[in-house]
Amino acid sequence: MASFEPLEKELGVSFNNKDILRQALVHRSYLNEHPDFPLGHNERLEFLGDAVLELIVTEYLYENYENPEGELTNWRAALVNSEMLSKLCSEMTAEDHLYLSKGESKDKGSKARKYILANAFEAIIGAIYLDQGWEAAKQFVHNRVLSELPNILENRLYIDPKSRFQEAAQERVGVTPSYKVLSEEGPDHEKQFEIGVYLGKELIATGTGTSKQEAQVSAAEAGIKEKGW
């Protein structure tokens, strides 16, 4: 079995029990193809890590900011959502160590892979907590997750893209954006929508997604980039 030393260096943790780290990287699909694998999948570690992560982030926000509960809740959500966690996981070599089925291994860059990475990140936190304790888990979360907070606050990433684009559009040009479905493809269970975001009659940007809401968010994100807002 592969050495986890490079990953441990990235995590800043030398595991006493390497199997706890190994299990954090085992996706359920791998066990379907390898029923004799000696470890279980990572879902219980993910469950634990999710709670540890949320408490560490909540404690930090509570101790360092006097803001109202609603704002702190939005900041926390921006730090611990699957988009953020999958990004953080992909910045490490953890993806190279994942135990995946052959099908999942090929599925890089998909929405499903993002969820696998986010879940693995939470499972790693659970593994650190189990093997090294609260302080080690706290150190890791501070280094990897809470370090993202200044950027989130500066760029108001805790506000969803549609709201951000709407606020900026109303403030800068006095227009409320509108969204229009440009195309709709695929069977009902695998629909792909392309949606345009408009300011008046001007098409600003387009976005795609497996639901209209997802495509609208994608279009709003593209609109923010296009306008430099």
Residue numbers annotated as active site: 50, 122
Structure token pair of residue 178? 């509108």
Task: Look up tokens 């990953």; give the residue.
Answer: 7
Helix axes 69-80, 43-64, angle to 10 degrees: 140
Give one word for 186, left, alpha or beta, with left for phi > 0 and alpha for psi -120 to 50. left
Structure token pair of residue 9? 């260096």
Lay out the sheet containing 178-185: strands in order across.
Answer: 178-185, 192-199, 202-209
| Among the listed residues 180, 185, 208, the one whose alpha carbon sits nearest the alpha carbon of residue 196 | 180
Rounded (5°) CA angle 20-26-27: 145
Q: Would you mind telling me the total number of residues written for the chain in this entry?
A: 229
From first CA to last CA, the distance across the chain in angstroms is 48
